[in-house]
Amino acid sequence: MDNQNFRTERLLIRPTVMEDAEFIFALMNTPKWIQYIGDRQIRTDKDAENYIKKNMIPQLERLGYSNYTVIRKTDNVKIGTCGLYDREGLEGIDLGFAFLPKYERKGYAFEASQALVDKTKKQFEIDYLSAITVPDNIASQKLLEKLGFEFFKTTQLKGSELFVYKIILNGEH
């Protein structure tokens, strides 16, 4: 499992595990998560454990990547997540990120996501990554562009309009 962990200057990034349930519960119930990502009906730590067990761990076991918990090295505080998601209804693998409000706008999302993009280029056989945002999530769109993603198209997923961004990693698409 340790080869699935990686570090940046300020962060430890490791696969999300059952012990992260309390943190995942808190993150998934922040106003921006609910506004921009959607209400996943996570109402208790137990719901978060079940979500990790049913959604995150199986993908990690199947593909070798999934959701990662982002931990600040200076104090070992869990501050956010980033990950690679095999989403139903979406072509390709999707990069996603979310951070607790007090850790936003400090460069952590860029740092973690850039490290994950770099790891993906080196370690996984993925030619390109997609990323989706709702049209009014300007901060995420700017971050994706800073990472090198380009607007690709608009799509519908589960009744919502989404912007799809794409970055070529290996080869051409």
Q: What is the mean pLDDT of the chain?
A: 93
| Least confidently predicted of 97-101, 113-117, 128-132, 157-161 | 157-161
Structure tokens at 51: 């979500």
124 vs 144 pLDDT, higher one: 144
* pLDDT value at residue 30: 96
Question: At residue 3, does pLDDT exceed 70?
Answer: no
Residue 173, in any domain of the structure: no
The tally of domains found in the chain comes to 1
Name the helix (H) or strand (E) containing 25. Answer: helix 21-28
**pLDDT confidence of 64, banded at 50, 70, 90?**
very high
**Cα–Cα distance measured from residue 49 to residue 108, given in angstroms and rounded to the nearest whole number:** 25
Residue 172 has pLDDT above 70, yes or no: no
> CATH no. for residue 83?
3.40.630.30
Residue-wise pLDDT for 141-167, tens only, equals 999 999 999 999 999 887 889 999 999
End-to-end distance of the chain based on CA atoms, in angstroms?
Answer: 31
Q: Assess whether pLDDT exceeds 90 at residue 92.
A: no
Question: Would you say 94 and 132 are in contact if contact means Cβ atoms under 8 Å apart?
Answer: yes
Residues 17-56: pLDDT tens digits? Answer: 999 999 999 999 999 999 999 899 999 999 999 999 999 9
Domain that holds residue 114: 2-168
Query: Domain for residue 22, yes or no?
Result: yes
**154 occurs within a structural domain:** yes
In a domain, 128, yes or no: yes
